[in-house]
Structure 1
């Protein structure tokens, strides 16, 4: 209570004293108190002074009194929150609830305010309602502790998740409810609901579904379609939800005429080709929107970055027709003032700048700016790449293009042990630098040792050997392979090779590659080698020196080099040993891979591969150690690696069983659907999928060896090595096929 009698008369404040403080400093009170020493204090100033201190929320009682020329401020502090205990929460993590309460002012160390508990209950209900738990019960208890502190106990009874029992669209006569709802985010309970949570009501998801419903009708000519009302009802036991959407369909409208007007700064014939709607067609907002977007992007490529293309429909209610006009407003042509880079602390500026397809001082082209960003991402030097195009201050027709990058470690020093079902225990060491000294050049040295393979390799590549983007590289290596341990015929090879290569870009997406390799192959048989091996050695010898040339064409539109989600890649190659080599043969191949992005982070991949080898001159057929093999990861999963196709002929009387011998022809195909990983947020390094594989290894086009399988796959680029797993079931395995349902690799690339 304020000592009004003591303050009835005005007086000059000679000093201010604060009594009753425990945790709060006197300076805090002086800062909020609208009274200073030397000021005349009167009864009229009491109310504003007390309100100012109450508004801080620090005090639950305040009185003012006078002691001579001293203004005395008596306060009783609100208690502080010593601890908050939340029990019963299972669906929402403790950290999430603590953070949510902190945002509304309830946290350990904060001043306790009784009114805040009402906000606590509201916030907790909001959190749990968003998870579909409408049967929530909350009980709060506040206990007093020593030193003017309190403890808060919050007991939560979550209840069960309320499931959507029915979604009913009233007034839909042209289409069935099931047909309309197939793209909705919300759904009644189904066998995937445990993962997708689509049977849990969400206001945000319902808003998105209403927009999908509106688009569904507008894309099918119902230009006057409207949603009259929406009701969401929950049963008394809080377990089931019923959603009712009342709609008015209207009539179907067709396009009478399509017009293109405005300032057509681009050849009208080019713009007409971008129009995706035409007279006589049913009106579609989707096609009209795509037309506006396509025209805007075309104008953006000519420097009209801020162009507007507005679609203006003129509706004839009597004839049920629409005249669609696309009005083009290009705005001013915009030029690029500067291209700036930020975050490249190691990579040289020139390495990034040479990937730019947008040039400074030329008009800004949206597609070139975006393509430059994609090229930076494909380098593999950066974890993230961003781009911004702020306008230049003081101008109306210039922008800067600012690229920000986050570098990742491009050097790799590894020494370790891996395991493969085919290679067994693998000892490996690898030293590589993809961006040595920030120049973009790559060097690597690798050593690999396992039961079936010993390999040494040294390589170098300069992606910009010339300013035009011609690449140059070389490699030297040695490989010793044990065929029996590789699941193939009983023979051994030792191969030493040296070669160099060039890459020539033809355009933005196409390139040619040229390879020149010198290879020395030593072939050795064993007492158990099959007839084909011993006959080959007796005819051709066991040591071969070959010089080969190869050419390859690549068309690459992939968005990322690893875990792509859109675009594709085609590769055609041909290799031939030059006349005069100890063995004269050739190999040709073609591979196409394409990714199709689907809704909700789903990606569909199609892969097709063909290879064929033959001989010329004095060599009879493709040398068997150059045969194609199939089965396992990268081929037809579910069959043991290298075991598909023809088998060899054991020596008479040896008692050996036939083993895979490979063939001169390879056909591989795969269809795979990648989808989000449940319960994992780091989807950049992990992906799972379902697949169907098919393939054949044969001599010539012999489809008797065609095999099929289907299954599930998983891949993880872990910090300690790449891991790939698959579970597959072959469809048509024969008695001689080697089936392996579960396959995995650890410590090697995919």
Structure 2
């Protein structure tokens, strides 16, 4: 009762104060304003106030204008109090500014970094330099709690402290007690009969936790993740004939202490249906046979929602190839519940033909528009072509500059035969850091390092620097590439490099092979998938004598000189249709490179062919093949230069052996490489146990086979080395990381073993 009386008293006093203020501005006889004064301004410009007043000097003033002035000034959102006082024929506008936010700080936050939280508050209008009011602080508290709830931290508590500072400013401190996240205790699926509950729960990214939950956070409830899991559950049934499957309800219950969550999903499976037939209806532009060839729905097989959607999409895309951007294709099921059969009628309406008026690009804050536009095969003011639009989207996506690339078609108001293409991209960091290391008794710890920028200054050009600090190989190389050196898409790449190396031995020799050079090459696209490269280089290779120099190197130097100049010409070809360059699961990659030394001190041919194939095995498994063959020979009376030899063993070839130590050995026991090379790799990849469906963390088993041979040797199967092992693949923040433990299976006396290796930034 006392509290109710207190509220009544406060409201009464407030009403009396408001009436007193109103008396100052109202209940005056109209008069002509001789002057207007403003009092109380600190940061707000007087012009802002004058611009909001509904009267000027010389205007007639009355009560209504005074009321309008107060409302207009309050609407600016920068004043805490406003009064209009009358002093004779002079109006005095008295204002009290709201304090501004000087600083926003957070205490006790571990789940989010401060920049993320500041960004969330900025979106609701609370940021440094903006006017402050308590209502905004309350909204900020609720927004922060919402962010924590999205991370399953239901017990998070936020306390706001407002500290006044000089010049009418305040510091805001949000003290957060995060508490422990709520964990999913149980997931139940009720109503299933055709499939075991265990199999259905295996489709979910959410689970009750495992030994890797600290990484995957799969036991933390998220409404977004749950919706995605429910869609996976629905798709699972719809692909297996359950046409009328539905999810009746989903209950999410949290324990009183806000630490445990139980999810219950109620489903109705319905009957399983078999497709009895398919019929086409509507206008198919006289190309019914072409459209029938696109039908993926198979009569006599169980209903499959994926086949239906693939068919309607294929129809829509095919209409789009003829300019019909608004084609409508509907798959109408005719259900025979008595016999559990369904017949589909594919009704098509091509609507009207259209051409593209404009291509709009959004989301590229760094990348220039021209970098995206030059990849488009659909042009403005040309007929709409769905195939060209898809090809354009894929080409932009393959730039690897963007996380997402979406192309949407929108109508042009007032122009029924025109459409606009809205291209929305989400940029990703295009700089990369690549590291490699290996442990062995010979090299101890060998490091390699490179920094690359695939989209330098948003131009689409490539810049890179590579450094290798191996005990036996030291490299410094710079590369720059312009993929559109000409408007037709001819690329230009310039390389400048300096390499100092010596064979892999245990005898501590201090000789070196030092190669310095520069080259230029061009890439000519002959099709959407094929590119031919050609170029030329100038190289200087010096054999620096020292202790334990291999006899082969010494013999070559004594006959042809310790310093050799080469002018190699190069030509190559590549084709890449993998679904990803970082973590591919399907597709093929091929590369052919040939080098011909035609001038100066060398005469040789060097060729290399690489083939990769990725095959999805169903479920979560991927089978990967890699094959590489190299061949070199000398001509015009010259041997193949020893400093052009291939090397094998270790990372990128046959794991389990020291880097570059396979193949021919000198009479001194040093590994000198060879003119021929063969490498075969096979891997089976699967998500890491406990990581659920997370494909960024995978394990793999592998078998490697390979060796190198001298110029006068034949490829010999008995001489091939082999190894097998297991490894871990992780798409880490600084690049793809692969750790492998290999056991050699086929060895020869003198082979040096390197069982543990890791590398960042390579595929094999």
Q: TM-score scaled to structure 2, two decimals?
A: 0.71
Residue 254 of structure 1 is aligned with which of 252, 270, 274?
Answer: 274
Partner of 1:694: 704
Matches of 1:197 and 1:346 in 2, distance apart? 33
Residue 310 of structure 1 is aligned with which of 330, 335, 353?
Answer: 330
CA contact (8 A) 2:653 2:706 kept: no
Which structure 1 segments of 5+ residues have no match? Answer: 494-521, 527-536, 538-547, 651-655, 677-682
Classify 1:587/1:260 alpha carbon distance in 2 versus 1 (closer, same or farther; 3 Å). farther
The alpha carbon displacement at 1:128 in A equals 1.0
Would you say 1:319 and 2:339 are equivalent positions?
A: yes
Classify 1:738/1:570 alpha carbon distance in 2 versus 1 (closer, same or farther; 3 Å). same
Matches of 1:188 and 1:25 in 2, distance apart? 59
The alpha carbon displacement at 1:449 in A equals 3.1
Partner of 2:658: 640
Residue 669 of structure 1 is aligned with which of 681, 687, 703?
Answer: 681
Partner of 2:754: 740
Matches of 2:72 and 2:242 in 1, distance apart? 60
Residue 708 of structure 1 is aligned with which of 724, 732, 753?
Answer: 724
Matches of 2:59 and 2:632 in 1, distance apart? 106
Partner of 1:70: 90
The alpha carbon displacement at 1:222 in A equals 2.1
Matches of 1:551 and 1:146 in 2, distance apart? 71
Classify 1:747/1:451 alpha carbon distance in 2 versus 1 (closer, same or farther; 3 Å). farther
Matches of 1:733 and 1:658 in 2, distance apart? 20
Partner of 1:115: 135
CA contact (8 A) 2:377 2:388 kept: yes
The alpha carbon displacement at 1:246 in A equals 1.6
Would you say 1:92 and 2:118 are equivalent positions?
A: no
The alpha carbon displacement at 1:157 in A equals 0.8
Cα deviation, 1:476-497, whole Å, max 9, x if unaligned, reads 5557587999x9975228xxxx
Residue 742 of structure 2 is aligned with which of 697, 717, 729?
Answer: 729
Matches of 1:404 and 1:704 in 2, distance apart? 51
Cα deviation, 1:16-53, whole Å, max 9, x if unaligned, reads 44444444444444444445555554456655554444
Matches of 1:235 and 1:393 in 2, distance apart? 53
Would you say 1:158 and 2:168 are equivalent positions?
A: no
Partner of 2:190: 170
Matches of 1:64 and 1:747 in 2, distance apart? 69
Q: How does 1:341-360 map to 2 (within 5 A)?
A: none
The alpha carbon displacement at 1:243 in A equals 1.0
CA contact (8 A) 1:598 1:604 kept: yes
Matches of 2:500 and 2:731 in 1, distance apart? 23
Classify 1:42/1:361 alpha carbon distance in 2 versus 1 (closer, same or farther; 3 Å). closer
CA contact (8 A) 1:419 1:745 kept: no
Matches of 1:410 and 1:488 in 2, distance apart? 45
Cα deviation, 1:215-248, whole Å, max 9, x if unaligned, reads 2222222222222222111122222111111222
Cα deviation, 1:237-270, whole Å, max 9, x if unaligned, reads 2221111112222222222222222211263233
Matches of 1:422 and 1:464 in 2, distance apart? 38
CA contact (8 A) 2:700 2:729 kept: yes
CA contact (8 A) 2:206 2:221 kept: yes
Cα deviation, 1:667-697, whole Å, max 9, x if unaligned, reads 4123275999xxxxxx9xx999856241133
Matches of 2:161 and 2:357 in 1, distance apart? 63
Matches of 1:319 and 1:160 in 2, distance apart? 54
CA contact (8 A) 1:134 1:162 kept: yes
Classify 1:364/1:203 alpha carbon distance in 2 versus 1 (closer, same or farther; 3 Å). same
Matches of 1:348 and 1:467 in 2, distance apart? 23
Classify 1:733/1:40 alpha carbon distance in 2 versus 1 (closer, same or farther; 3 Å). same
Cα deviation, 1:101-124, whole Å, max 9, x if unaligned, reads 233333344333222332122111
Cα deviation, 1:631-653, whole Å, max 9, x if unaligned, reads 123212232233346x6595xxx
Cα deviation, 1:607-649, whole Å, max 9, x if unaligned, reads 331648799x9x9x9999998653123212232233346x659
Classify 1:92/1:708 alpha carbon distance in 2 versus 1 (closer, same or farther; 3 Å). same
Which structure 2 segments of 5+ residues have no match? Answer: 1-16, 426-454, 503-512, 561-567, 689-694, 710-714
Matches of 2:402 and 2:227 in 1, distance apart? 37
CA contact (8 A) 1:144 1:151 kept: yes
Matches of 1:207 and 1:489 in 2, distance apart? 66
Cα deviation, 1:500-525, whole Å, max 9, x if unaligned, reads xxxxxxxxxxxxxxxxxxxxxx8469
CA contact (8 A) 2:701 2:724 kept: no
Classify 1:438/1:329 alpha carbon distance in 2 versus 1 (closer, same or farther; 3 Å). closer
Q: How does 1:206-245 map to 2 (within 5 A)?
A: 206-245=226-265
SS of the residue corresponding to residue 448 of structure 1 reads strand
Partner of 1:368: 388
Matches of 1:591 and 1:691 in 2, distance apart? 21
CA contact (8 A) 1:444 1:459 kept: yes
Matches of 1:608 and 1:134 in 2, distance apart? 49
Partner of 2:536: 475
Matches of 2:726 and 2:186 in 1, distance apart? 35
Partner of 2:473: 424
- Give the number of aligned pairs: 681
SS of the residue corresponding to residue 270 of structure 1 reads helix
SS of the residue corresponding to residue 732 of structure 1 reads strand
Would you say 1:8 and 2:33 are equivalent positions?
A: no
Classify 1:397/1:674 alpha carbon distance in 2 versus 1 (closer, same or farther; 3 Å). farther
SS of the residue corresponding to residue 301 of structure 2 reads coil
SS of the residue corresponding to residue 298 of structure 2 reads coil
Matches of 1:201 and 1:384 in 2, distance apart? 25
CA contact (8 A) 2:500 2:514 kept: yes
SS of the residue corresponding to residue 211 of structure 1 reads helix
632-641 vs 656-665, which moves further: 656-665
SS of the residue corresponding to residue 426 of structure 1 reads strand
Partner of 1:517: none
Matches of 2:66 and 2:372 in 1, distance apart? 70
The alpha carbon displacement at 1:728 in A equals 3.2
Classify 1:288/1:733 alpha carbon distance in 2 versus 1 (closer, same or farther; 3 Å). same
Classify 1:716/1:632 alpha carbon distance in 2 versus 1 (closer, same or farther; 3 Å). farther
Partner of 1:102: 122
Classify 1:624/1:144 alpha carbon distance in 2 versus 1 (closer, same or farther; 3 Å). closer
The alpha carbon displacement at 1:159 in A equals 0.5
CA contact (8 A) 1:480 1:492 kept: no
Partner of 2:553: 492
SS of the residue corresponding to residue 371 of structure 1 reads helix
Partner of 2:349: 329
SS of the residue corresponding to residue 227 of structure 2 reads helix
Partner of 1:130: 150
Classify 1:149/1:308 alpha carbon distance in 2 versus 1 (closer, same or farther; 3 Å). same
405-414 vs 625-634, which moves further: 405-414
CA contact (8 A) 2:739 2:758 kept: yes
